[in-house]
Structure 1
Amino acid sequence: LREVAKLDDPIYKEIYFKERNGLLIKKVRFPIGVVLIIYEARPNVTSDCIGLLFKSSNIGILRGGSDAFYSNMAIKNVLEKASFDSGLDFKPFFVIENTDHRIVDIILKKDNYIDLVIPRGGEALIRKVVKKSKIPVIKHYKGVCHIFVDEDIDLEKAIKVCVNAKVQRPSVCNAVEKILVHQNIARSFLPLLKKEFDKYNVQIRGDKETCKILKGIKKAKEKDWFEEYLDLIITIKVVKNIDQAIRHINFYGSHHTDSIITKKKNNIEKFMQEVDSACCFANISTRFSDGYQFGLGAEIGISTDKLHARGPMALEELTTYKWIVKGDGQIRE
């Protein structure tokens, strides 16, 4: 919350200005309005979202999961008291205290009162919200994140990045789920990678070529390439070149976060331009796909949509805009 407080206020910020035909034309940021956040078991979401919504002058309605109910209520009580102690004469946020799932179904139909819904949680929750909501939804369904290990690499750094992306926190949406390895380095790279993964009990599933190199691993099925495991499981494929890697990512991925490991600058640029994902990285772990890591203070969620917001969402993504035009009696001929 202190990090969010330090950020510039996005409201009334001018994002376009032009003088034309004696008119002063401005495009200015404004709050979206009333934002509903539906989330599951992480109570830090409560404080993060309240801070971001308050800073961006939106009213928040928060509905957390029953597993973190008492933590959510404790955070709500502290922040509610702080808001009134600071002199506010209105409630800037509301936390729904009823854990009955039917409440959510009712609220999702109130598009005349609520401007936006942001669901945070598992794929089942998000799909349910999208299906039932009459209110616009910004979301990502899942994080099927990839790392492509090119042929020209620093071997030690490549292994370090791949291991961190899988094991540092495997249950989150920016953990890597698939690793693609260039065929020219597969025989030298994969045994070293497996040795490190074995230290963390990571289960490896592989395509035909990977199974030839890493004897005894489980053969990947078609559904594995689409799967978000959120666990110590990884699927690995040997690819011919960067073009095959990009095609694979765009077909099987979830357009969340994908990374390339390479020394080739032209391949980095090709990957950035052709991979259709919200976050494209070079030579870093996918775990950096996070609003706080991006310097946004916190995040309200991550979007794989292309309209309004994409990637980690923070203050600016919680705004819309108005066209403000001033003149002196002009008429259009």
Structure 2
Amino acid sequence: MTADDSGFRDADADFLAERFEAHRARLRAVAHRMLGSAGEAEDAVQEAWFRVNRADTTGIDNLGGWLTTVVGRVCLDMLRSRRSRAEQPLDAIATPAATAPATATSSDPEQDALLADSVGVALLVVLDTLTPAERLAFVLHDLFGVPYEEVGAVVDRTPAAARQLASRARRRVRGADVAESGPARQRRQRQVVDAFLAAARDGDFDELLDVLDPDVVARTEAGVATGAATVARGAATFGPLAGVARPALVDGATGVLVLVEGRLERALKFAFVGDRITVIDIVTDPVRLSRLDVRPV
């Protein structure tokens, strides 16, 4: 390889990196809507870049649409992994590059990102009740305009099957209470969390069951616990920390911070359906804590 050839390769790599960065905001918005976590969204976008950097992107007319499908595949893998871990008890838990061209239109990536962000946390609650394939089909098609042909390629289904996935998800979304105003929703959710913390401080198992959805999921870096009884038993041991927990918005969702001697020891992020908690994300890893968007209230 000559010096000129090397220069051309470096220039191509720089050009691809610049084009990827131009779409990063939109890709992050797609991943955030898929995964419900800013930190995981960043991980997904970074993994997408690794895949893109290894792939042959020549001949792709619409890089933005193609990148969206790459991120979709990454998020689908992460959602499936998350669901498989949910089948294991807490104490039991200590990809090829995309090559199909995409044609989804995106005239303004920044505008697409703003549009996705406007959907709000309430929708994320509903999305958490969908299967990974339903969630991906709804987010890609309904929120970001990806054609069913490309959605089907991501989830290994026919376009007609992808349409059915999105339709089922759409019915769930329409049937959920996502119209409640932000302040009113946050007040109601804050009351539920206050009741949860009070019950945890007192070790009141029955009161904990009252505020937990029967199929509640509690996720930590160590593993996943499912079911109201299991999560309530774990929450009852949270009593001492519940006493120093403070309300906050965590990645835009209702949550609490636990400060020990002025240091953020852990953050809890809640998702709700109605007046019951359906998901509790518990973050204790210092690196993940540093990446959270935390706003005390």
- Normalising by the residue count of structure 1, what TM-score does the alignment of the two structures yield? 0.23
Q: Which has the higher strand share?
A: 1
> Of Structure 1 and Structure 2, which has the larger fraction of its residues in helix?
2
